Amino acid sequence: MGDSLSAAYNMAIEQSWPALMQNQLNRQNTGVKVINASISGETSIGGLERLPALLDKHQPQFMVLELGGNDGLRGYKFSQTRANLASMIRLAHEADAKVLLIGVRLPPNLGPVYNQRFQQMYQQLAEEFAVAFIPRFLEGIAASDPAYMQADGIHPTSLAQPILADRVLEKVLTLLPE
| 56 is known as an active-site residue | no
Point out the catalytic residue in the list 3, 4, 16, 38. 4
Point out the catalytic residue in the list 96, 144, 145, 152. 152
| 155 is known as an active-site residue | yes
What is the rounded distance in angstroms from the CA atom of residue 123 to the CA atom of residue 82? 11
Point out the catalytic residue in the list 3, 16, 71, 155. 155
What is the rounded distance in angstroms from the CA atom of residue 48 to the CA atom of residue 46? 5
Q: How far is CA 97 from CA 63, 94, 116, 132, 175, in A?
A: 6, 7, 29, 12, 10
What is the rounded distance in angstroms from the CA atom of residue 92 to the CA atom of residue 63? 7
CA 167 to chain centre: 11
CA 80 to chain centre: 18
What is the rounded distance in angstroms from the CA atom of residue 84 to the CA atom of residue 152? 27
Catalytic residues: 4, 152, 155
